[in-house]
Amino acid sequence: MIRPESIKGAVLDGIPALGDSLRRFRAAHGDVPLVMWKSDVSQAYRRMPVSPYWQIRQVVTIGSDRHVDRCNLFGGRGSLRVFSAFNALVSWIAATKFGVDFKHNYVDDDYGFALHRDVEWYQPYGKYLPTPQVRLLLCWDELGIPHEPAKQLAGPVLPVIGFLVDPNRMTVSLPEEGKQKLIQALDDFCDPASGGRRRSLATFQAFAGYANWAFNVYPLLKPALSCMYDKMNGKSNRHAGIYVNAAITRDLKWMRQHVSRSDGVHILAANAWSPADLVQGDLGDELALTDASGHGLGVYLPWLRMGFHCDLPTDAPAGTIFFFEALAVCAAIHQVRVWKKVGRSVHRLAVLSDNTNTVAIFNSLRATPPYNPILKSAVDVMIECNLDVRVEHIPGIQNVVADALSRGKLQLARELVPGIDLLPLVPPRDALGASPQ
């Protein structure tokens, strides 16, 4: 009875937000010992009263007696937004009035980290706890927010929203049980015997939410939901059936394959760099500039003085220049796989493109189905080669060498970069929609 658009906007702090805080803390304080802490409001949703106009919709009949439930219900469509509105205010009070730094929130879980030696005595529980946690509990006490000792946790490694967080190793991992549960969910959604070829919109939405939770430790696997989101787009009847087509099944099996091979460990420190941090001459770093034109594709590696070029593929599934700009970036990433085969390991690759749409899909790892094979192909290489990639924008006026290569103006490329080695470029076939070899 509540329209979905009426309750959109509740933002939860997942692992990426925690990772950003940890990286900023480490940059300022170095490799000091840390502990995680987590606090939980007792019966969080039920502490919120709802409007009398809504209470009449929560009448419970037991025998001949009728009871009015005056509290927010767990599982209601608007329940999260109701509690989040309240808890956002509490979080502001905790930060500005009680000095609780680096606190994050996921539904009713408040969590953060502190120096190992930074503890205070919390009299109601009769024990020492991390200082930010004590300050939060004191805030709750003053506001009259109930909490229970069993749900106030602290330690060097702590479960947070279903993941094990180790702030000293800067890792977040999915326990084996959680990994197997995720694999089973992927299998069940793809198997018609477990629910038929058609699933309700509600089932699609629930599965997408579960997969997005898993992206906290598998952030590179976001392309797995492209076709699923495309199928859900524009639909509002939560009970109407949606066909689980071959494209959805193919993407989810791609995700399953990577999850089953992964150790389930995500390195939080790996994201703390930009293209400006790369070092020319460092064997682990590389830089590429890419471009596409109506004639062909170009990839320029300035540090190696190498240029790659080819005509536009004739069997591309999309005819817009955006597709080929993205394909050029994917081809540059695939070059790392070639280097790996000859014994050269590159761990960080910065790719500069003058197409803003291309930069956007590689930064978000989200694209519409025609472009999704490009992202999946790039992710395959990034996982196989343990490669960290940044794609950023470069003004077209500064991308002259890659532009010349894409237009087949090889003599101009030689004039711009004397001594450049020019080589043929082979776009990855799976990025064009072909089955991977």
CA distances from 44 to 34, 110, 144, 148 (A): 28, 12, 13, 12
Q: How far apart are CA 258 and CA 208, in angstroms?
A: 17
At residue 159, the pLDDT reads 93
Architecture category of domain 176-269 in CATH? 2-Layer Sandwich (3.30)
At residue 277, the pLDDT reads 86
Q: How far apart are CA 192 and CA 413, in angstroms?
A: 54
Number of H helices, E strands in the chain: 13, 20
At residue 435, the pLDDT reads 59
CA dihedral sign of residues 408, 410, 415, 419: positive
At residue 273, the pLDDT reads 76
Pick the CATH number of 273-432 from 3.30.420.10, 3.40.50.300, 3.40.50.150, 3.10.180.10: 3.30.420.10
Are the beta carbons of 417 and 305 closer than 8 angstroms? yes
Q: How far apart are CA 327 and CA 358, in angstroms?
A: 9
At residue 318, the pLDDT reads 59
At residue 64, the pLDDT reads 92
**Residue found under tokens 């946690």:** 133
DSSP string, 282-345: -TTEEEEEEEE-SSEEEEEETTTTEEEEEEPPTT-S--SHHHHHHHHHHHHHHHHHHHHHTT--
82 sits in which H/E element:
helix 79-97
At residue 244, the pLDDT reads 93
At residue 317, the pLDDT reads 66
Domain covering 4-173 assigned CATH 3.30.930 in the classification:
no
At residue 402, the pLDDT reads 97
Q: Do domains 4-173 and 273-432 have the same CATH topology?
A: no
Beta-carbon-side half-sphere exposure of residue 301 (alpha carbons within 13 Å): 20
- For the chain (length 437 residues), average pLDDT per consecutive 10? 72 89 92 96 90 90 93 84 91 96 91 96 96 97 94 94 93 93 95 84 93 93 96 89 94 96 85 81 92 95 96 77 94 95 92 96 95 96 94 95 97 97 94 68
At residue 221, the pLDDT reads 97
Q: How far apart are CA 135 and CA 53, in angstroms?
A: 37
* Sequence spans of domains, the chain: 4-173, 176-269, 273-432
At residue 1, the pLDDT reads 64
